[in-house]
Amino acid sequence: MKKTILFISLFISTLTFSAIAQKQGTITVKTKYTGIIDGYDHMNKTDIYIDGMLAGSTSSQLQSKPNSCTVSVSRGQHDVRIINMAYYEGTWEEHTIENEYSLDALYEGTINLKKKLTIDLLFDIDKEETIAKVK
């Protein structure tokens, strides 16, 4: 009888520990463009990669409209890569200087997710820079 109670206690403890270890948090990514030149308001979307895996994407819409996406991620430390994609001549391509855009519309970093995190990205075409606020 004692062995059965001990076994059940260990089993419940293991399940409880697993549930705690796998708690989820959320990362919200908000994007906005400024300095868009007339005639260059591209369709775009933003892809969110967590630890090298695609975790989510915003809807596709014109750059002139702010966009956002929230993804559910396990709590803890993660490598994050957020890249804006432009729809050009029937294909999605990274909005980077390498692809002949005026700025690298991306964010890369390591975050420690506790519960909720917001990453605000401002892609400033006039200043040719991406401004990131992580809060």
What do you get for the CA distance between the two ends of the chain, in Å?
A: 52
The token pair at 16 is 């409880």
Read off the pLDDT of residues 62-110 as tens digits, 9 standing for 90 and up.
999 999 999 999 999 999 999 999 999 999 999 999 999 999 999 999 9
Residue 109 identity (one-letter amino acid): G
Continuous segment of H or E residues that includes residue 52: none
Read off the pLDDT of residues 8-28 as tens digits, 9 standing for 90 and up.
554 555 545 455 556 999 999
Q: Sign of torsion, CA 100 104 105 109?
A: positive
What pLDDT, on a 0 to 100 scale, did the predictor assign at position 31? 97
